[in-house]
Amino acid sequence: MIIPFIKKDLLVLLRNPQELLVLVLMPLVLIAILGFALGGVMGGDAEPITAKVAFITHSDEQKEIEAFIEEIKGQEMPEEAETALIQSANLLHPIQTLVDDVFGSKELKEIVELEVVKAEKLDEIKNDDHYAAVIEIPAHYTYDILSSALLDEPSSATITLYKNEGKQISPKIVEDILMNFQKQLTSMTVIGKAGVQLEDIKSKEIGKTETVTEREPINSLQYYSVGMSVMFIMFIASHIGSSAYREKQLQVFNRIILSNTSRWSYLGGIFFSVIVIAIIQQAILYGVTSLIFGVVWKDLFGFFLVNLSLSFAIGGVGALLTALNYRIDSEGVSNFFGNVMVSIFAFLGGSFTPIAETSSVIGMLGNLTPNGAGMSSLLQLLQGVELSAIAHHLFYLVGFGLIMLTAAVFSFPKRGDAI
């Protein structure tokens, strides 16, 4: 008895281009506009930072270390002290450390591409926009650092950094790296003066490393594909609620009742029609966004389950809107839902912007809306979260649908009421 209603509602919808525009074309247009216009706002949109940095050194590190050692040997100092200083001098290779250990580390290699350049090219490179920064190591840098660190002599060693002002972030990153390097060098120097072997410090681990669950970032096209889909699914409830009321006005409902179809079958027909149309709508929207915008769902089973639960909840809303329209004998309830409530729900649910991040209360309220719960679930699925982690949202959506359906059954006018 439900199938004729679903067939009829689908046919009526297919013959109604205005409704189709609202339910299918408009969300796709909005996904495209918002997704591209707000690209870069979402974490997943961030382009990887790559900085090309030129490295020019006037210092011959090995020769300067040897010169320093010769100088130590030339001084008349106790043998033990001389040996300790020579050992420390052989360990401290500030330029090599900067190039190999700092810029050569796995993490920084992904961000900074260090290119060792001959000193004569400095002027040329300073005007080359391909470089985010130029690091210039002065002559006698290593010797000065060793003298300062081990012999407590005043240091004139200064690294010069030329920043390309045309680049916004990368020169700042290079500057921070150098500052941090300088700090570490200073602390090692202080520790060296305190009589601690530098070798001991290097080999010690610093604290404990914890691993947190890593989620894939969401880009704006993914975000708005979900945001607009869960928003526009609600218009189906409003559309069917209004169509059902027109059936009453035209006495089609009376005809249905006279066929010995119960009111509950009719309401069931509305409920399932909304579910079927919602599933089709979501399939079209996500299908198109997958083909055009590359929004791909890895966990298809989870994706289907969330959309089924969301459609179930919206089916309940559609049934309730129909029942209330019939009760108050006006299309007003479904119109109010479509014109006002959908926007409020969409805002709270985060369809326009991730508002839940601003406050936990708004986040909680958002998740109480069917679209909000659906959106949270779908975004988490996109981030690679397990289905079990979003099960509470699915239970909520099914519960929400059942509550709406129960409310619809109680508010639908009974035989003998003025309908």
State the nearest-atom distance from the C-beta of 244 to other proteins, in Å: 12
Phi, psi angles (nearest 5°) of residue 397: -65, -45
User: Considering the complex, what minimum distance in angstroms separates the CB of residue 326 from other proteins?
Assistant: 14
Out of 7, 73, 121, 392, point to the residue binding other proteins (CB under 8 A).
Answer: 7
x/- track of binding to other proteins for residues 260-289 (CB under 8 A): xx----------------------------
Rounded to whole angstroms, the Cα distance separating 390 from 378 reads 9
Shortest distance, CB of residue 221 to other proteins, whole angstroms? 35
According to CB under 8 A, which residues from 222 to 261 bind other proteins? 249-252, 254-261
Nearest to 145 by CA among 181, 177, 102, 104: 181
Cβ neighbours for 409, distance < 8 A, ≥ 6 positions apart: 264, 267, 323
- Of the two residues 19 and 113, which places its CB atom closer to other proteins in the complex? 19
CA distance 280 to 273: 11
CB of 29 to other proteins, least distance (A): 24
Looking at the Cβ atoms of 8 and 52, the one nearer to other proteins is 8
Assess contact for 111 and 51: CB atoms under 8 A. yes
- Does position 18 interact with other proteins (CB under 8 A)? The reply is no
Please report how close the Cβ of residue 11 comes to other proteins at its closest, in angstroms. 6
User: 52-90: b or e for each residue (b if 16 or more CB lie within 10 Å)?
Assistant: bbbbbbebbbeebbeebbeebeeeeeeeeeeebbbebbe
**Distance between the two ends of the chain, CA-based, in angstroms?**
22
* Nearest approach, Cβ of residue 337 and other proteins (Å): 22
Please report the DSSP string for 279-299 in residue order: HHHHHHHHHHHHHHH----S-
Cβ proximity to other proteins: between 224 and 266 the closer is 266
Nearer to other proteins, 118 or 415 (CB): 415
Query: Scanning residues 182 to 211, which ones bind other proteins (CB under 8 A)?
Result: none
Determine which helix (DSSP H) or strand (DSSP E) holds 52, and give its type and residue range. strand 51-57
How many residues touch other proteins (CB under 8 A)?
24
Window contacting other proteins (CB under 8 A); options: 2-10, 61-69, 195-203, 342-350: 2-10
367 SS3 class: helix
What part of residues 389-418 is at the interface with other proteins (CB under 8 A)?
A: 415-416, 418
Alpha carbons 75 and 203: distance in angstroms, whole number: 31
Q: Is 1 in the site for other proteins (CB under 8 A)?
A: yes
Provide the binding-site residues for other proteins, judged by CB under 8 A.
1, 3-4, 7-8, 11-12, 15-16, 249-252, 254-261, 415-416, 418
